[in-house]
């Protein structure tokens, strides 16, 4: 008897597609062994540049941090690389689309956690290299107040774990990451280091607070390199005071600190967190983890007990939570049929003619 197409490794039942990228697709799935919902990333194993083996390795390196998803499983079945991890909530980018901009209280509670998440990655001798709102998500269930950093496909080791020898400074590097949030140094072609992750965090907070950045929309119709150049010039010529106009002085101080950092310098994580903690206290806020969206989320949770609000699945709810299988199987089958066809076409095109 053939096994169902929507069950992988006799353990993970695909429920619905929740995202996709250049590497493949992401599904919400049910872990039949642990009786929980999880996120399942899948890519064709024969792709020219597989990402999941590397990302799976990094999740093991980063294990133990509350601000990074737990890796549940990694394996290869037939032509598929599969990575299963904690299922998280909405990204900060998705939440911002709903709220247009966040309150100062919300951003300050996020900021201290985001610094801690990036600090943990740095302590493990890696830099993220793609700090942006899409790559920060909220936890689920008991972890719904926790900010979680994801997507380590572009992460890179910046120093040797044994000798602690830092990578050498170099220039004329191609941009890695997202131009909107990249540091000025990286846009100028410098080898990225810890300072650049920290500068990118600052741009993310300005975006969350105001809903915009001075260079957004530039070069929309231009070629990629021309667009990057326009963003670089605007970012380089926009003063910190202009960037942080209308915001507390602590944001200006943050940018002054991180932009003055040397290439190999270790960020002063505690001092930077304290900068925003003092601002939080001065504003008279209560550190209750009530974000702008918390009441809305709680009201929705009270009306309906869904997988989004309950990561563990009671046995009697399995049937109720099932999404029709056919669309999922069709998505799954179509993706791999198309991917295999592309791979075969590439192979034929690179085979020398006799």
Going by C-beta distance under 8 Å and a sequence separation of 6 or more, which residues neighbour residue 9? 73, 75, 77, 82
Q: Tell me the C-alpha distance between 201 and 232, whole Å.
A: 17
Going by C-beta distance under 8 Å and a sequence separation of 6 or more, which residues neighbour residue 67? 113, 114, 116, 117, 120, 146, 147, 148, 149
Task: Please choose, from the candidates 59, 17, 56, 12, the residue with its C-alpha nearest in 3D space to the C-alpha of residue 36.
Answer: 12
Q: Tell me the C-alpha distance between 220 and 350, whole Å.
A: 34
CB 177 within 8 A of CB 197: no
Q: Is 41 annotated as ligand-binding?
A: yes
Would you mind telling me the total number of residues written for the chain in this entry? 354
Going by C-beta distance under 8 Å and a sequence separation of 6 or more, which residues neighbour residue 106? 208, 291, 292
Whether 130 is catalytic is: yes
CB 148 within 8 A of CB 68: yes
CB 147 within 8 A of CB 117: yes
Identified catalytic residue from 31, 86, 125, 130: 130
Residue numbering of the annotated binding site for ATP: 41
Residue numbering of the annotated binding site: 41
Residues forming the active site:
130
């Amino acid at each position: 008897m053939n096994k169902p197409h929507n069950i992988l490794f006799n353990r993970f039942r695909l429920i619905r597609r929740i995202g996709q990228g250049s590497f493949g697709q992401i599904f919400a799935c049910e872990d039949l062994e642990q009786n929980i919902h999880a996120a399942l990333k899948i890519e064709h194993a024969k792709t020219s540049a597989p990402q999941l083996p590397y990302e799976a390795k990094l999740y093991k390196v980063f294990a133990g941090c509350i601000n990074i998803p737990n890796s549940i499983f990694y394996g290869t079945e037939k032509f598929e690389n599969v990575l299963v991890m904690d299922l998280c909530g909405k990204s900060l980018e998705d939440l911002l689309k709903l709220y247009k901009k966040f309150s100062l209280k919300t951003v300050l509670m996020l900021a201290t956690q985001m610094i801690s998440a990036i600090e943990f990655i740095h302590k493990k001798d890696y830099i993220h290299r793609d700090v942006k709102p899409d790559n920060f998500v909220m936890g689920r269930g008991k972890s719904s107040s926790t900010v979680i950093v994801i997507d380590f496909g572009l992460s890179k080791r910046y120093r040797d774990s044994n000798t602690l020898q830092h990578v050498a400074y170099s220039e004329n590097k191609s941009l890695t990451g997202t131009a909107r949030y990249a540091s000025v140094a990286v846009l100028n072609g410098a080898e990225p280091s810890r300072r650049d992750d920290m500068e990118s965090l600052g741009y993310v907070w300005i975006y969350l607070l105001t809903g915009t950045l001075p260079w957004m929309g530039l070069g929309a119709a231009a070629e990629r390199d021309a667009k990057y150049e326009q963003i670089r010039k605007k970012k380089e010529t926009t003063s910190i005071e202009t960037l942080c106009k209308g915001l507390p002085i602590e944001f200006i101080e943050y940018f002054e600190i991180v932009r003055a950092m040397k290439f190999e310098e270790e960020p002063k994580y505690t001092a930077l967190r304290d900068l925003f903690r003092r601002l939080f206290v001065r504003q008279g806020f209560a550190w209750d983890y009530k974000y702008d969206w918390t009441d809305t989320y709680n009201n929705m949770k009270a009306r309906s007990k869904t997988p989004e609000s309950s990561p563990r699945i009671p046995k009697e709810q399995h049937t109720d939570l099932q999404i029709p299988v056919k669309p999922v199987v069709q998505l799954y089958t179509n993706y791999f049929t198309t991917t295999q066809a592309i791979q075969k076409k590439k192979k034929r095109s690179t085979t020398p003619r006799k």
